[in-house]
Amino acid sequence: MTTASPSVQSALETMTKADRQLRKRNARARRWSAIYLGACIFALIGLILLFGTVLNNMFGVVVKTYAVPPSQLSPNQALENLSEAELGAILSDYFSKQNRGIQRARVLVRDNLLGKNIDPARLSGEPISSLFAGRDYPPEVAELKFSELTVPQLIQLLESSISQSQLYQMVVKDVLQPRIPQSWTLLEGIFNWNRIETEAQAKYPGEAIMWHSWFSWAFVSSELTSDPSTTGLRMAIVGTVYILILTVLISIPLGIGAAIYLEEYAKHSRFTALLETVIRNLAGVPSIIYGMLGLALFVRALGDDAGITNGRVFGITDTNGRTILSASLTMSLLILPVIIINSQEAIRAVPASLREASYGIGATRWQTVWRTVLPAGLPGILTGVILSLARAVGETAPLLVVGGLTFLTVDPNSIFSKFSVIPIQIFSWTSEPNPQFKNVAAAAIITLLGILLTLNAAAIILRQRYSKKLRGA
């Protein structure tokens, strides 16, 4: 029997040791892989629970009651299928019988045809031919003043100027007056239908029990009310859109401009290093601190004192500093550091060879930045900008501090208007004692998530599109 030489034995021992180490490393890699997979599964479960909870509250079973049953108004045909004249006749008959019916009819005409902000002096002093110039109206009321119109004449103005669906919504809101006294979640409806039916019939005999979605077009397009069965999100959506657009106009030029200066023009010194450190620290400051800064600077100093953000310097006297402009400036401060940092990273990632090639053909520094660096860094810049805006859309604390309202009944119509936004409305509804407001808040959450998903999808699509263009170039 031959014995292996010492060199062979040493090699075998080394291979055995290496094999054991390899198995250990592979086992460690599998453990970490399992941990990473577990983290992904945990995040996915959390996301599913979040969406499941929201959807469980947004859909469900309700008891719906009416002040006037629909069958009483139209026994032979569904109300939504009636013509404008038939719906107008229902409104006219109902308002004529009410003590303050004519006042309500005037409010409907004013709000839907003339605007809530119309000058009261015009409303009381000018004839219909002047108030409704360019609109259709019955000839016999041309010389009458608004206060002289009867209920049938007011309803005729509505019939001639708005659609059948709008008239139907008026009938539903003012005549039918639907109410939801009790509701159950989706899971309760699926698993406990018999119990719900028995309980509802005992409490509300003869009333309709039905499946109901709290999210609908009527919810998105209706004004805010104190009743969860009729309230809407329109004012908050309009305020969110106003603030988002104005924030884009303010923050994008400043953020990208600052990033270009720091990366392409500023000399590397202690000052620029300090400046970049400050910017990175500002990105981590709690949002409510920005709200306090916005309150002191934009609401009080530039608003109540200087008259800029409240519009006083432009002749507007009916607002204070708690306006859309103040909110947008505050949101711009909040996301500006994030935009600067993301834009810097995108510009820094542009290959130096592109700059050198541009300089080589005689381009100036500005031409190089504008025609070479920015187009090459645009995918990363756009991604950072849109994700920053998505953060701004979901903020509540800073907007509450600078004056966001929890109950607003008039649509914002300028940058100097009072405002509400979707997160503030969600916060307000979840604080209400009426349990139906939790269902309404769930519908508002879905609306907000839809906006956020749209912004995130836009970031992905734009990044891919510009990346393809650059690769094609």
Q: What is the pLDDT along the chain (473 residues), one digit of tens a residue?
A: 455 567 767 776 777 778 888 888 888 999 999 999 999 999 999 999 999 999 999 999 999 988 888 888 888 888 888 888 899 999 999 998 888 889 999 888 888 888 877 888 888 888 888 888 877 788 888 888 888 889 998 898 888 888 888 888 889 888 988 899 999 999 999 999 999 999 999 998 888 899 999 999 889 988 888 888 888 899 999 999 999 999 999 999 999 999 999 998 888 888 888 999 999 999 889 999 999 999 999 999 998 888 898 888 888 877 788 999 999 999 999 999 999 999 999 999 888 888 889 888 888 889 999 888 988 888 889 888 888 888 888 888 899 999 888 888 788 888 998 999 999 999 999 988 888 999 999 999 999 999 888 888 888 888 788 777 766 65
How high is the pLDDT of residue 259? 94
The pLDDT of residue 131 is 85
* CA 229-230-233 angle, 5° bins: 110
For 113-207, strand residue ranges (E) read 179-185
Separation of CA 45 from chain center = 25
Q: Looking at the DSSP assignment, which residues form a beta bridge with residue 211?
A: 61
Q: What is the dihedral of CA 40, 42, 47, 49, to 10 degrees?
A: 160
From its phi and psi, is residue 2 left (phi > 0), alpha (psi between -120 and 50) or beta? beta
| Cβ atoms of residues 402 and 322 within 8 Å | yes
Q: What is the model's pLDDT at position 54?
A: 93
Residue 1, CA atoms < 13 Å, CB-side half-sphere: 1
State the Cα–Cα distance between residues 291 and 36, nearest whole angstrom: 37
Which three-class secondary structure state does DSSP give residue 208?
Answer: strand
Residue 136: per-residue pLDDT = 79
Q: Is 99 exposed, middle or buried (0-12, 13-18, 19+ CB in 10 A)?
A: exposed
Helix or strand or coil: residue 230?
Answer: coil
Type of residue numbered 261 = Y
What pLDDT was estimated at residue 298? 93
- 59's enclosing H/E stretch is strand 59-65
Cα 431 to Cα 438: distance, rounded to the nearest angstrom: 9
39, exposed or middle or buried, with CB in 10 Å at 0-12, 13-18, 19+?
exposed
Closest to 381 measured CA to CA, from 247, 251, 250:
251
Tokens of 245: 């657009």
For residue 425, which of 220, 285, 252 has the smallest C-alpha distance? 220
The CA distance from 12 to 297, in Å, is 76
As a CATH number, domain 234-472 is 1.10.3720.10
The domain limits of the chain are 67-177, 234-472
